[in-house]
């Protein structure tokens, strides 16, 4: 599985847009990029998955440049409840295994 | 999304006893289930991957005789921590996939405290 690198932490304020970038320089042709959110003492929650260009759903957007060596999770107008750890995972869609990196701790302040 | 339920949510046990944690996919049949443990302020560490009806595949460094995994049906996998010790205290999380092309759904986790 491709290794991922994310910022350890990020700070933001309510109402702002937050962009979390993940580097995955050795991503393979069959690999997809998936983001999960985790609150303390809870299991991770799926946010979004993409392969290339841009993917958008009701909670986030995922931007993937043409070389696919990085990706950016965009959270529009964050609220206090978006304070959580965000994990970027890269692997084939079959995900024979799911390996988590260190994640990004996002703190949203009033 | 699909629902994965873990039971119990938390458990306290005495050192030397065994504890069983259940992971159920409530509204889908899971061909593959994963078990993780997570220490405070750390990331999830994959312990093993199990496919229904076959033996689990353990990650390097995980004792399969200590952490028994049984994926007996398409909706249930169990993790038994045998002869638990205080260092086994952790947050255990399971996840399940319907098939190769779907994302994994996670249970709410089980907090194990061994005293």
* Residues of chain B positioned with their CB less than 8 A from the CB of A34: 103
**Is residue B108 less than 8 Å (CB to CB) from chain A?**
yes
- CA angle A55–A40–B51, rounded 5-degree value: 65
d(CA B29, nearest CA chain A) in Å: 16
Contact between A34 and A99 under an 8 Å Cβ cutoff? The reply is no
Structure confidence by residue, pLDDT tens digits, A57-98? 999 999 999 999 999 999 999 999 999 999 999 887 665 567
Nearest CA-CA partner of B37 in B1, B81, B100? B81
Task: Judge if the upstream peptide bond of residue B8 is cis by omega within 30 degrees of 0.
Answer: yes
CB contact under 8 A, A97 and B46: yes
pLDDT at A2: 63
Structure tokens at B9: 């949510």
Query: Which residue stretches of chain B have pLDDT < 70?
Result: 1, 100-101
B33 touches chain A (CB under 8 A): no
Determine contact, residues B115/B19, Cβ cutoff 8 Å.
no
The helix/strand/coil state of B87 is helix
Which residue is it, tokens 């689990």?
B56
**What pLDDT score was predicted for residue B114?**
97
Encoded tokens for B22? 């259940």
Predicted pLDDT at B55: 86
Query: Which pLDDT value is given to residue A64?
Result: 97
Distance CA B82, CA B16 (A): 8
| Rounded Cα distance, B83 and B65, in Å | 10
> Rounded mean pLDDT of chain A?
92
| A47 pLDDT tier (thresholds 50, 70, 90) | very high
3-state class (DSSP) for residue A20: strand
């Amino acid at each position: 599985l491709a290794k991922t690198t994310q910022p350890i932490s990020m700070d933001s304020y309510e109402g702002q847009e937050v962009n979390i970038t993940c580097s995955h320089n050795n991503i393979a042709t069959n690999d997809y990029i998936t983001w999960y959110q985790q609150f303390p003492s809870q299991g991770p929650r799926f946010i979004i998955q993409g392969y290339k260009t841009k993917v958008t759903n009701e909670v986030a957007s995922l931007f993937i440049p043409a070389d696919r060596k990085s990706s950016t999770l965009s959270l529009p107008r964050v609220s206090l409840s978006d304070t959580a750890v965000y994990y970027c995972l890269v692997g084939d869609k079959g995900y024979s295994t799911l390996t988590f990196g260190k994640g990004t701790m996002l703190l949203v302040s009033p | 999304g699909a629902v994965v339920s873990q039971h119990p949510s938390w458990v306290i046990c005495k050192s030397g006893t065994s504890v069983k944690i259940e992971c159920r996919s409530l509204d889908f049949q899971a061909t593959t289930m994963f078990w993780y443990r997570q220490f405070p302020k750390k990331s999830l560490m994959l312990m093993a991957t199990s496919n229904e009806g076959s033996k689990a595949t353990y990650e390097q460094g995980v004792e399969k005789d200590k952490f028994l995994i049984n994926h007996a049906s398409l909706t249930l996998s169990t993790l038994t921590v045998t002869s638990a010790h205080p260092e086994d205290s952790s947050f255990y999380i399971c996840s399940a996939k319907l098939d190769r092309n779907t994302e994994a759904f996670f249970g709410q986790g089980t907090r194990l405290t061994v005293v």
